[in-house]
A and B are shown apart, each in its own frame.
Chain A
Amino acid sequence: DAGVIQSPRHEVTEMGQEVTLRCKPISGHNSLFWYRQTMMRGLELLIYFNNNVPIDDSGMPEDRFSAKMPNASFSTLKIQPSEPRDSAVYFCASIRDTAYGYTFGSGTRLTVV
């Protein structure tokens, strides 16, 4: 089991550029979550999918953020245009079907300059 795989591990981009973060959940897990972690706000849920369908996107900060899950093995989080305040670590996590023992990916550290 390779765990939840995120890419890239680090991303540095200039303000205004488009950023795409990628996640491959654990095979057989049917719920996928995108979290953002900052010193100020801690871990915040952005959006989650169940069986590839977005269930709760109330944490998505604004229209610049979008997320897709075209199939059970892949999801993307896109920021366009990026801003310095988007700098954070973005985690993807997946679970099978019950809300315990989330498996988190290693995260993508995003820096927008």
Chain B
Amino acid sequence: EDKVVQSPLSLVVHEGDTVTLNCSYEVTNFRSLLWYKQEKKAPTFLFMLTSSGIEKKSGRLSSILDKKELFSILNITATQTGDSAVYLCAVTRPGAQKLVFGQGTRLTINP
């Protein structure tokens, strides 16, 4: 059974800090890993990663995948209160369109 584990489950930091969120996975025939941000409503797509060592970047957010060690990290620099959310990691397999999600990391940024 495919498994995605995120850590930490919860994190509280001050505005301006840098955070690193972790996602490890076990999946038969890995295809891709995706990061989502969930505020009050629906998850919104951040990144999709398919190749090891290639950093994806969007503003203050960046992510990288290590397919050998089966994990990914999501970095957020110079955090802002608007970054407070649950960050979800999910994996897919070739030929299967469904996402298998981790439990999420609840990030709280205090002013």
Contact = CB atoms under 8 A, between A and B. Distances in A.
Consensus secondary structure, chain A interface: strand
B42 A99 contact: no
B99 A45 contact: yes
| Chain A residues touching B, range | 20 to 34
A50 B42 contact: no
A58 to B, nearest CB: 10
Given A100-B48, A101-B48, A104-B42, A42 B101 contact: yes
B53 interface: no
Interface of B: 31-32, 34, 41-45, 48, 88, 90, 92, 96-104
Given A42-B101, A45-B99, A48-B97, A99 B45 contact: no
Interface of A: 31, 33, 42-45, 48, 50, 55-56, 91, 95, 98-107
Contacts of A107: 41-42
B104 A42 contact: yes
Contacts of A99: 31-32, 92, 96-99
Contact of B88 (A43, A44, A101, A105): A43
A11 to B, nearest CB: 16
A107 to B, nearest CB: 6
Contacts of A104: 42-44
